[in-house]
Structure 1
Amino acid sequence: MEYSKVELIEHEEKTNLVKHEEETEILKAREAFVCINSKDKNNSLRCDAESVSGSVSQRACVYCGARVVLNPITDAYHIVHGPIGCASYTWDIRGSLSSGEEIYRNSFSTDLREKDVIFGGEKKLAAAIDEIVERHKVKVIFIYATCIVGVIGDDIDAVCRAAEKKHNIRAIPVKSPGFAGHKSMGYKAACNALIELMGKEKPKAKKEKAINYLGDFNLAGEAWIINNYLKELGIDVAAKITGDGRCEEIMNAKSSSLNIVQCAGSMTYLAKLMEELYDIPYLKISFFGVEDTKLSLLKIADFLGDKEMEKRARDFVYREEKKIERELTYYRKRLEGKRAAIYVGGGFKAISLIKQFKDLGMDTVMVGTQTGKKEDYDVIRSLCNEGTVILDDANPAELEKFMLEKGADILVGGVKERPLAFKLGVAFCDHNHERKEALCGFVGAVNFAKEIDLTINSPIWNYLKLEV
């Protein structure tokens, strides 16, 4: 039987697809980190462990995690003690905005070379601090120890102590060699540095109804949106940690009466330390999606125990919901029945995204995180339908395999996941640090629905599918 040229091409493509699927079987060592959601309670998922060697994890390194947290402090200086390549991870790949100084947009590096690896880089680091202090009005410098510093053993603590004494500034070491763990360890290193900045002594007095906003990095100005919401309720944000944050307000953060934690993965550790050291309670909240934004504002007002504030909160969320109801209804009609895949950094964000997709009439068919905890995955399993693939610390092969198997129409992820989605002909939504569109609060819920609609219903996917 003879085949036309088109039929031969189609047959070859199908054969290659089968071969490709056979090649992307889950690694034996990764099986415990992947589960298909079911009612079986024993169908557990392993998490919060080191990445499997050779699996090409999508996770970032320890240094990256530390930089994510500390970089948005607008008037702090950052010295990357290591090779020049590490310094490339700075403001230009983040959407953190500032209402004040712009010094955080610069990155300083000791640019360690072979000679420094052999003889040590402490003198070079001390000289770098001297040069920055000479040229700029410095209050605080964060000094990051990268992989090579962890290997050669430079005593950055000693260099920082000497610099503080010499220049009368705060020089704070950040222990973040990339090989020492994964991104979560970087979060902890950054949180320890923030505690060092605040000091461990207890505050003399507390400010009533003053709160600290932890774990919002002011991507696309989101911290400003939430700050305005809280002002409507009569709540003062004393310190933003760290988006659009200032060194002085962070130093005084221990005088506040409550911490609210947006990014649980990066800042729960800091909130627990502040509760232990300064007796500041904390609430985990989320301002992604209408449901979580509404519940978070009501929870904060209820915790502060002011009846008038609680009434203002109820009235405010009712008004804001009404404003966006018509637009969300429009997008629900266009998105109903579509299938979403999620791969983000933390479990709390993944939970909010599942709820948002459900509100838009969409089904989440795959969900994974880089740093999710057991309690996060328990909630994820309760929210997802049976058959949903749940992954911890996934790699590109796994993401590709399950997106194709589940017929995902869109992937929500970060910069590393974008090329994968586009190569598969799947729509993509950036929910990471690079985005320029505010996705939090009531206005963010509309922006999110609009972006999902624009990408998932773009005519380009029809043309790509015709070629397969």
Structure 2
Amino acid sequence: MENRTEIIEDRKDFVCYNSKNKKSKLRCEENSVSGAVSQRACVYCGARVVLNPITDAFHLIHGPIGCAAYTWDLRGSLTSGSELFRNSFSTDLSETDVIFGGEKKLRAAVDEIVEKYHPKVIFIYATCIVGVIGDDIDSVCKMAEEKYHIRVISVKSPGFSGSKAMGYRAACDAIIKLIGENKSTKKVNGINYLGDFNLAGEVWVVENYLKRIGIDIVSKLTGDGKYDEIIKAPEAKLNIVQCAGSMGYLANRMEETYDIPFIKTSFVGIEDSINSLIQVASLLGDGETVKRAEELIESEQERIKPEMDYYRSRLEGKKAAIYVGGGYKAISLIKQFKDLGIETVMVGTQTGKPEDYEIIRQITNEGTVILDDANPYELEKFMLEKGADILVGGVKERPLAYKLGVAFCDHNHERKHILAGFGGAVNFAKEIDLTVNSPVWSYV
């Protein structure tokens, strides 16, 4: 690694400048370096990210009220059903509960939820304090299931027990527990859509594309997911995985348990949307299905071409920095920027895998800064060093960009406009243009 800027000694192996002459050996999939003020969230937050969008699920946080407040309506996912999943229910553990245990409070909370709302499924999350005091959540769940004949599932997610990716895994284990481990003898010619959380309605966009080419979605995991759909997941012939960082583990578990093969897809950007549609049509359909997919792609490309040409003319030559959760999104964003004539000069993820970083190395230019689990200091230093005009990230990165006088695009939890599919590509280009070419920067 070229030492062009000062970083914490223990972080040096997690940062590199891309070189085409040698493989960038970037460390990843490890716990955050102590003292580095990681941009990652905790294990509990990772579990909530995955499970929160299930529309008829109830989320009971066994821990202090702060944990429930921290993840309230975390994903902001859109729903075609109940809105109750947006609420966080908490046992509100206090100092007395830490000393004497909180199981009694937990049982009372479950009783109250069942009495008031009659839910089909309750997820109970173990937070840091519960991991320390050792409440037996599994036994509370078992007793509640026997008493009320509904699903009550524990999520082992003490925040200190690993990284955000460990929370994804805990959530995926809970989903397998919800579905059960029995294989389905009945199979339908449809897919399970894994790893899209329907932040602005993207699940519905993809569902519409697939319906137009004759393919049904059996279950959505977890954006706009519903209990009655999710338990039918073993009936699908194929799993498609949008976010491999959060759902790759679940796809592997489902292949082992239910014999459902999976492919990685992305509907972020024009190139990846095209590839994904053709791939799904080829695997699940016949020649006619592939033909319908090709016709859909051709009509959508023709529809958006004038707008994309306009935005490309306004954005060519700009420089972008990317810092997002998973590797799949970073890869898709690099391709989108390239399509708009924008060079990616810095790219990082919170939970990227070695294969993600290898693809990133191949599709970015020499000298591009690649980071795993960055901290605010690193993001600021490299954005300034590389002269980035815009940062694409999440809510935690927004203040960093604005403080430096750099444009920002939210590609994570809080956005309310669609960024998937062909229409999403236009929305993305429009937002980049609005923020990069805003007159406000001439005053900074």
TM over 0.5: yes
Tell me whether 1:275 sits opposite 2:255 in the alignment.
yes
> Greater Rg, structure 1 or structure 2?
1
Q: Which residue of 1 aligns with 2:366?
A: 386
CA distance in 2, matches of 1:452, 1:95: 22
Equivalent in 37, 41, 45 of residue 56 of structure 1: 37
1:32-71 counterparts in 2 under 5 A? 32-71=13-52
Look up the equivalent residue of 2:393 and give its one-letter code: G
Seen in structure 2, the aligned counterparts of structure 1 residues 180 and 428 have a Cα distance that, compared at 3 Å, is same
Counterpart contact for 2:52–2:74, Cα < 8 Å: no
Look up the equivalent residue of 1:311 and give its one-letter code: K
Equivalent in 206, 210, 213 of residue 233 of structure 1: 213
Counterpart contact for 1:47–1:392, Cα < 8 Å: yes
CA distance in 2, matches of 1:303, 1:159: 44
Q: Which residue of 1 aligns with 2:226?
A: 246
Tell me whether 1:111 sits opposite 2:96 in the alignment.
no
Counterpart contact for 1:90–1:106, Cα < 8 Å: no
Post-superposition offset of 1:92? 3.5
Counterpart contact for 1:90–1:105, Cα < 8 Å: no
CA distance in 1, matches of 2:423, 2:303: 9
Alignment length, in residue pairs? 442
Tell me whether 1:206 sits opposite 2:187 in the alignment.
yes
Look up the equivalent residue of 1:140 and give its one-letter code: V
Post-superposition offset of 1:42? 4.3
Counterpart contact for 1:287–1:441, Cα < 8 Å: yes
Q: Which residue of 1 aligns with 2:104?
A: 123
Seen in structure 2, the aligned counterparts of structure 1 residues 213 and 42 have a Cα distance that, compared at 3 Å, is closer
CA distance in 2, matches of 1:331, 1:200: 49
Question: What are the ranges of 5 or more consecutive residues in structure 1 without an aligned counterpart?
Answer: 1-21
Q: Which residue of 1 aligns with 2:348?
A: 368
Q: Which residue of 2 aligns with 1:80?
A: 61
CA distance in 1, matches of 2:114, 2:361: 51
Seen in structure 2, the aligned counterparts of structure 1 residues 312 and 42 have a Cα distance that, compared at 3 Å, is closer
Counterpart contact for 1:289–1:440, Cα < 8 Å: yes
Q: Which residue of 2 aligns with 1:377?
A: 357
Q: Which residue of 2 aligns with 1:152?
A: 133
Post-superposition offset of 1:204? 2.1
Tell me whether 1:353 sits opposite 2:333 in the alignment.
yes
Counterpart contact for 2:48–2:74, Cα < 8 Å: no
Counterpart contact for 1:94–1:435, Cα < 8 Å: no
Tell me whether 1:402 sits opposite 2:382 in the alignment.
yes
Look up the equivalent residue of 1:63 and give its one-letter code: Y
Post-superposition offset of 1:162? 0.5
Look up the equivalent residue of 2:413 and give its one-letter code: H
Equivalent in 264, 271, 279 of residue 284 of structure 1: 264
SS in 2 for 1:100: coil
Counterpart contact for 1:354–1:364, Cα < 8 Å: yes
Q: Which residue of 1 aligns with 2:115?
A: 134
CA distance in 2, matches of 1:93, 1:130: 25
- Runs of 4+ aligned structure 1 residues displaced above 6 Å come to none
RMSD of aligned C-alpha atoms? 1.2
Equivalent in 396, 417, 423 of residue 397 of structure 2: 417
Look up the equivalent residue of 1:206 and give its one-letter code: K
Deviation string 1:210-259 (CA, Å, 9 cap, x unpaired) is 11110110111111111101100101111011111101110111111111
Question: What are the ranges of 5 or more consecutive residues in structure 2 without an aligned counterpart?
Answer: none
Q: TM-score, normalised by structure 1?
A: 0.93
Deviation string 1:171-215 (CA, Å, 9 cap, x unpaired) is 0000000000011000000000000000011112111x2111101
Post-superposition offset of 1:137? 1.6
Post-superposition offset of 1:43? 3.2
CA distance in 1, matches of 2:74, 2:151: 27
Q: TM-score, normalised by structure 2?
A: 0.98
Counterpart contact for 1:91–1:104, Cα < 8 Å: no
Amino-acid identity (%): 71
Look up the equivalent residue of 2:327 and give its one-letter code: G
Tell me whether 1:438 sits opposite 2:418 in the alignment.
yes
Look up the equivalent residue of 1:396 and give its one-letter code: P
